[in-house]
Chains A and B, each alone.
Chain A
Amino acid sequence: MTRLISPLILSALVLALVSSSSARHEQQAGAQRKATASSPAPVVREIDLAGLKKLLSREGKERRPLLVNFWATWCEPCRAEFPDLVSIDNEYRARGLDFITVSIDDVSEINSTVPAFLREMRATMPAYLLNTTEQDAAIQFVDPRWAGSLPATFLYDAQGKVVFKHLGRIKPDELRAAIKAVISDK
């Protein structure tokens, strides 16, 4: 009898854990969406080459897989793919993914066009604007084989290795599959 009951109790416990975890995810995603709809334009932080390197190397932080999207408001395919990126952020942030966006717009647009677009998209991922005269060095730091075409999306695993990259408008299913392969909560 005990032999029969133990697996049952175990299964019930696992089920309870899974459902409470997914409920937590739902709550977090809901809270995020709620905050977005009513919040002011998001803050876009200016970074230089050193700042970009620091962001991507994530020294001293507990590492989670990191998704980085390089974009600009003047880039039509970047704007077109943004709703998919926001959905992906909402789906996977609570499941162990960090996601940041790096705008290549001119720094004069850091308080206007860039945050206005992010607000329109209801984007809540940390947003940065790369302001550097060393754009070539920045591109080569991210990927020596990248010529700088936008949009560009890179996925790093928890060890900081690029496990997926896509130049041009993302294919959401392809990106989702790559994310699922590296996040802790599958």
Chain B
Amino acid sequence: MIKRYLFTFALVLSLSCAALYGINVKANATGSDSEPGAVGSVVADFKLPDLDGREQSLSSLKGKNGTVLIFVGVQCPVSNAYNERMEKLAQDYRARGVNVVGVNANSTESASDAKAHATSNNLTFPILKDNGNKLADKLGAERTPEAYVLDSSNKIIYRGRIDNARNPSSVSASELRDALEAMLAGKPVAKSSVPAFGCTIKRG
């Protein structure tokens, strides 16, 4: 009799602990196996305003051979360290049928803030304002800068950093360009997901 009570008590206790543990970690986790924006998933067409308030869509901005979506920030020093490199990337690949599109999803930065920032940093590629973080949520984007390479059918073939150093003179690995070169050559991408330290996207 006592044994049975003890067993029931132990069972209830362990189930409660498991439930508590699960809630704690789950409530703060950032993804699951079917996480949004996973490499291999296809990005459905979306509509977002550009920095002048004009509605744009993925289908209207995408390149013939692919698209690079980069989440950027006005005040993030990491994102700012990449301004020149992002612009160069856009220029280098535009002629090869790949369009670079910036996305500002920070609730703390307005379209006019982002426009002034783009002008002063000579960013000529289109930048979209992701009000309400709709696209960031859809892609599971967490930080700036964070890049997504979409092939011609909008399938994500790369997700992650631009390269491995904030300081341009220290760069020894350029995974984003490597992914683009592989895509354009019809080869598989060697490293398809590469995290990096960056600023958290401020969600509203």
B is bound to A:
yes
B65 at the interface (CB under 8 A from A): no
B172 at the interface (CB under 8 A from A): yes
* A-B pairs with beta carbons under 8 A, tally: 85
Of the 9-residue stretches A28-36, A47-55, A59-67, A157-165, which lies at the interface with chain B? Answer: A157-165
Of the 9-residue stretches A17-25, A84-92, A144-152, which lies at the interface with chain B? Answer: A144-152
Whether the Cβ atoms of A147 and B30 lie closer than 8 Å is: yes
Whether the Cβ atoms of B142 and A149 lie closer than 8 Å is: yes
Report the bound CA distance from A107 to B35 in whole Å.
34
Report the bound CA distance from A133 to B175 in whole Å.
14
Whether the Cβ atoms of B25 and A162 lie closer than 8 Å is: yes
Whether the Cβ atoms of A147 and B28 lie closer than 8 Å is: no
Whether the Cβ atoms of B24 and A147 lie closer than 8 Å is: no
B14 at the interface (CB under 8 A from A): no
Interface string of A64-88 (1 = CB under 8 A from B): 0000001010111100000000000
Identify A136's interface contact among B25, B75, B161, B202, CB under 8 A: B161
A167 at the interface (CB under 8 A from B): yes
Identify B143's interface contact among A76, A147, A166, CB under 8 A: A147
Whether the Cβ atoms of B200 and A165 lie closer than 8 Å is: no
A139 at the interface (CB under 8 A from B): yes
Q: Least Cβ distance of A3 to chain B in Å?
A: 26
Q: Which of B28, B166, B172 has the largest count of A CB atoms less than 10 A from its CB?
A: B28
Whether the Cβ atoms of A149 and B29 lie closer than 8 Å is: no
Identify A145's interface contact among B30, B143, B199, CB under 8 A: B30
Q: Least Cβ distance of A96 to chain B in Å?
A: 18
A184 at the interface (CB under 8 A from B): no
Size of interface on B: residues with Cβ below 8 Å to A: 33
Interface string of A107-148 (1 = CB under 8 A from B): 000000000000000000000000001011001100001111
Residues of B within 8 A of A168 (CB): 200
Identify B146's interface contact among A72, A147, A165, CB under 8 A: A147
Whether the Cβ atoms of B195 and A139 lie closer than 8 Å is: yes
Name the CB-closest residue of B to A157.
Answer: B21
Residues of B within 8 A of A140 (CB): 195
Report the bound CA distance from A1 to B166 in whole Å.
77
Residues of A within 8 A of B13 (CB): none
Residues of A within 8 A of B40 (CB): none
Residues of A within 8 A of B97 (CB): none
11 inter-chain pairs at a CB distance below 8 angstroms, sorted by A residue, are: A106-B166, A106-B167, A135-B195, A136-B195, A136-B196, A145-B29, A148-B198, A149-B142, A150-B197, A167-B200, A178-B24
Extra contacts besides A106-B166, A136-B194 (17): CB < 8 Å: A72-B197, A77-B202, A133-B164, A133-B172, A135-B196, A135-B197, A139-B195, A145-B31, A147-B146, A148-B196, A149-B143, A150-B143, A150-B198, A151-B200, A164-B25, A164-B28, A167-B30
